[in-house]
Amino acid sequence: MSYVETLKHPVIARLSLIQLISYFGTWFSQVAIFSMLVAYKADAITIAFTAAMAMLPAVILAPVIGIIIDRIDFKKLMMTLLIVEIAMTLGLIFINSLEYVWILMILVFIRSSAASMLFSAEMALFPKILQGDMLKNTNEIHSIIWSFSYASGMAIGGIVTYYVGYDTAFIIDAVLYGIAVLLLFGFKLSLEKAIHTDSNWQMFKDGFNYLRSKRKILHLIFLHAAIGLTSFDALITLLADFQYTEVIAVPLAIGLMNATRAMGLMIGPFFIGKIISKNNLHYFFILQGAAIIFWSTMEYSFYLGLFALFVTGLFITTLWSYTYLLIQEETSQKYMGRVISYNDMFFMLSNVTTALFIGYAISFSESLPNFL
């Protein structure tokens, strides 16, 4: 089954369009946030903590997210979460100095909480309405959309931020979320509603005990979490600030570097997705590690680093979507929301750990080039 045939499914088509718009908006304003921090002379730890705030909600709110997903109607939940993202994005306009960085982190945390819950809800929905190749293709389409949005959002966001400023970027972002909300009004989903008569505490215990009893699912969750070690947002921002300022403006550097990496993320599944399987999965993890090492040797040059970032991104999307598929296939639908939220928790914990490690490692070194 091709991606085009998969997109003929009315639910997948509408959700994919909403994903495209909302994900683009997220990464569009991400450049503005980090460029603003650099302009306000934020240190490495502040930048790392801001990056971590975008990932932390999935770590600390996982038990709550899973229960909410299993209890609340998907469309109502999606509408509410998109409205929350609009409100938090508009709030970023009022940050005008480093003195208010704590407010910025709160806004980023709440916005990311909504985004994390929405993402988990979508990934829990797919295996309830799809299976086999259809589910595999949907996961890959989802990751391609994310990668395309990441690439185009970062690139265009960098240009817009450079020419018109942070506030305009945040307003444009809020408008994009608004368009996604409008698309929900025509969204129809026929899904039998699961009846949960247990208390939230009982649902939490049941979900935790189910996951603890399934060693194979736990193994797959940890395998999926390993991909979080490729979270380089903080490092890319610091490279743009310390290493490449004499070559290109910081917003443009952040946008181009992230966009180039995302191009690799987007293109990879079209080739690797056709050949990856349970039997050769370990080889692609090895290739991913080799690609990261290759990038580390090219970072001294902005343009060589761009090429290496592209290579680094080629394997990430396919590894992410395929390991996610394995988890979905092994999980009972009754516990799908809770297991998916725990999976996202471990994945984001890996991301947060990587971001904080980068920030602290650089702060304890004399300079970024010496650290590299």
Domain layout of the chain by residue ranges:
3-186+195-371
Average pLDDT, integer, range 5-15: 87
pLDDT value, residue 149: 81
Torsion sign across C-alpha atoms 237, 62, 69, 104: negative
Write b or e for each residue in 272-299: b if 16 or more Cβ atoms lie within 10 A of its Cβ, otherwise e: bbeebeeeeeeebeeebeebbeebeebb
| Residue 351 CA: distances (Å) to CA of 13, 171, 333, 354, 367 | 29, 28, 27, 5, 23
> CB within 8 A of 206, min separation 6: which ones?
198, 335
Q: Is 69 helix (H, G, I), strand (E, B) or coil?
A: helix
Q: What single-letter DSSP state applies at residue 112? A: H
Torsion sign across C-alpha atoms 42, 43, 47, 49: negative
Question: What tokens does 165 get?
Answer: 């400023």
Question: What tokens does 248 get?
Answer: 């290109």
Question: How far is the first Cα of the chain from the last one, in angstroms, to the nearest whole number?
Answer: 44
d(CA 345, CA 334): 19
pLDDT value, residue 90: 93
Average pLDDT, integer, range 94-104: 88
Residue linked to tokens 């990751």: 143
Task: Tell whether the model's pLDDT for residue 201 goes beyond 80.
Answer: no
Task: Tell whether the model's pLDDT for residue 370 goes beyond 60.
Answer: no
Task: Report the share of the chain in percent with pLDDT over 90.
Answer: 19
Closest CA to 114 of 149, 183, 65: 65
d(CA 352, CA 55): 6
Average pLDDT, integer, range 75-94: 91
Give tens-digit pLDDT for 253-281: 887 887 788 788 888 888 888 899 889 99
Lowest mean pLDDT segment, chosen from 164-173, 236-245, 276-285, 320-329: 236-245
pLDDT value, residue 178: 92
Average pLDDT, integer, range 128-150: 82
d(CA 144, CA 2): 14
> CB within 8 A of 215, min separation 6: which ones?
none
Task: Report the share of the chain in percent with pLDDT over 70.
Answer: 95
Compute the residue count for the chain: 372
Question: What tokens does 43 get?
Answer: 């240190």
Which residue type, as a one-letter code, is found at position 348?
Answer: M
Compare 102 and 56 and report the one with higher pLDDT.
102
Average pLDDT, integer, range 110-124: 85
Which residue type, as a one-letter code, is found at position 370?
Answer: N
Q: Where are the alpha helices (DSSP H) in 226-315?
A: 233-238, 250-272, 281-298, 302-313
Long-range contacts of the stretch 199-203 (C-beta < 8 A, 24+): 200/67, 203/67, 203/70, 203/71, 203/338
How much is the mean pLDDT over the chain?
84
| 291 and 314 Cβ atoms separated by less than 8 Å | yes
Question: What tokens does 279 get?
Answer: 């039997």
Long-range contacts of the stretch 220-223 (C-beta < 8 A, 24+): 220/323, 220/326, 220/327, 220/330, 221/327, 221/342, 221/343, 221/346, 222/346, 223/323
> CB within 8 A of 126, min separation 6: which ones?
135, 138, 139, 142, 328
Question: What tokens does 8 get?
Answer: 């003929």
3-186+195-371: CATH topology: Growth Hormone; Chain: A; (1.20.1250)
Give tens-digit pLDDT for 282-327: 999 999 999 999 998 998 888 999 999 999 988 988 898 899 889 9
Confidence of residue 371 (pLDDT cuts 50, 70, 90): very low
Look up the pTM and report it: 0.73
Chain centroid, CA 184 distance in Å: 21
Closest CA to 240 of 229, 230, 250: 250
